[in-house]
């Protein structure tokens, strides 16, 4: 079947309806994206492993089930990519590291099992920053994916879910799974013009997923819209005996229930103007326009008095991540014969000398700081910030020691809260900028509802990276 070219850039709801109507099959969609991968992935370096025949077999199986009347749900037959730290039995699982080029896991990640149970077709494994440790998206040995919003200059895609962001932005797949430990879903979503959900920690199982920092790692969707994110989150979230962090949580709200009810009467907190110093002019303009758009839908905006600046949280979060990262990866980092990127190694080794007493103090600080920040937004339904203070810079301009990209994202992960990044405009250079919607723990459904309301009033999520037809 000849498919319209713009179908590749469609949101999941549109693809779902096309499948339901019989206008396309799962095999049609899989071939559409496999063709785009064949034409563009070499230039973009977005997907690190594609098993085309396996994807076709999964698509054919999905079509057979549909013909038999056994449709698993609205995502049945839709292709998806997963970050290369989500294990798939028998497939390469490098975690973005050349040191693990021969690794073939024996088990499959729970998140992948749940996507497949929903009828989705695994089309490829997305590239990433080595060991998920870095926000720019760079990778010394396996190459840095290209941000598709600039064909002339190699700009950063954001990390660590770099390939996931580029894959969806360039329409090599309509959705991807990323992971977020200090912004690694939201940063590439922001730089690549996508919607990215960092769920409440523990809502999505990390079982059989390569860990960086187990107390902060969270898996979530990178997609076109908040509605798309809700569709995927609804199938991947939930308790899993293989991941104790998912057990014993309060019942989760149905993220699809009420997503379209609007935000009239909602109260949103914002940071004082003094806390936005240094944010790029184009980012600030888009952020202020986004607040106005939300006000026009009946929400009210209120300046809060935070207990500290967002960036003040970064050093404590960084040390916690690197301490856990060293614990999880020291068997690789201490082997001098392995090809591990120098910046990745330097970052994670920062956690090596941390004393147990210092680490325990940091864990307590996470609890205490979260309480103070929650008190500062008392009476607010969400906290709204720019997702990032800047747009995508050239790869050659990267300062690997800088933590600038995590200025507004890192504290969310440190506290275990949830946040949604949504496209909010283009800056003067035509590069995407983003709004971050931060909610308290287990406020995932509300964050998605706010994001859906914003996208119902704006068109930024419909903008696509030019030149990848």
Active site residues: 83, 160, 184
In sequence order, the β-bridge partners of residue 83 are: 126
How many C-beta atoms lie closer than 10 Å to residue 403's C-beta? 16
């Amino acid at each position: 079947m000849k498919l319209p070219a713009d179908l590749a850039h469609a949101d999941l709801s549109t693809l779902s309806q096309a499948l339901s109507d019989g206008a396309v099959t799962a095999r049609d969609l899989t071939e559409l994206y496999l063709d785009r991968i064949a034409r563009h992935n070499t230039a973009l370096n977005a997907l690190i492993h594609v098993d085309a025949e396996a994807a076709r077999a999964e698509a054919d199986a999905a079509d057979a089930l549909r013909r038999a009347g056994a449709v698993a749900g609205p995502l049945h037959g839709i292709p998806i990519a997963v970050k290369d730290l989500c294990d798939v039995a028998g497939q390469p699982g490098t975690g973005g590291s050349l040191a693990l080029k021969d690794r073939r896991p024996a088990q499959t990640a729970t998140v992948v099992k749940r996507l497949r149970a929903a009828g989705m077709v695994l089309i490829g494994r997305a590239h990433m920053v080595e060991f998920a440790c870095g926000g720019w998206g760079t990778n010394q040995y396996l190459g840095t994916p290209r941000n598709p919003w600039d064909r002339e200059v190699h700009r950063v895609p954001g990390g660590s879910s770099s390939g996931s962001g580029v894959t969806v932005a360039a329409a090599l797949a309509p959705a991807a799974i990323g992971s977020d430990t200090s912004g690694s879903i939201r940063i590439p979503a922001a730089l690549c013009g996508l919607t990215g959900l960092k769920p409440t920690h523990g809502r999505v199982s990390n079982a059989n997923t390569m860990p960086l920092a187990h107390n902060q790692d969270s898996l979530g969707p990178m997609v076109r819209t908040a509605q798309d994110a809700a569709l995927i989150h609804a199938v991947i979230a939930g308790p899993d005996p293989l991941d104790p962090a998912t057990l014993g949580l309060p019942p989760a709200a149905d993220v699809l229930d009420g997503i379209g009810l609007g935000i009239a009467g909602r109260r949103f907190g914002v940071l004082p103007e003094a806390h936005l110093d240094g944010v790029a002019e184009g980012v600030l303009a888009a952020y202020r326009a986004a607040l106005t758009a939300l006000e026009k839908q009946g929400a009210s905006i209120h300046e809060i008095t935070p207990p500290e600046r967002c960036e003040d949280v970064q050093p404590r979060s960084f040390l916690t991540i690197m301490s856990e990262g060293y614990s999880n990866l020291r068997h690789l980092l201490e082997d001098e014969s392995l090809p591990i990127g120098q910046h990745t190694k330097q970052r994670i080794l920062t956690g090596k000398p941390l004393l147990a007493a210092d680490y325990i103090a940091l864990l307590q600080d996470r609890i205490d700081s979260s309480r103070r920040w929650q008190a500062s937004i008392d009476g607010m339904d969400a906290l709204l910030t720019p997702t990032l203070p800047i747009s995508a810079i050239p790869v050659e301009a990267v300062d690997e020691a800088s933590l600038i990209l995590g200025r507004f994202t890192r504290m969310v992960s440190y506290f275990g809260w949830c946040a949604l990044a949504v496209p909010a405009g283009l800056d003067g250079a035509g590069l995407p900028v983003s709004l971050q919607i931060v909610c308290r723990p287990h406020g995932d459904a509300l964050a998605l509802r706010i994001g859906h309301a914003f996208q119902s009033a704006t068109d930024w999520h419909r903008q696509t990276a030019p030149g990848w037809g």
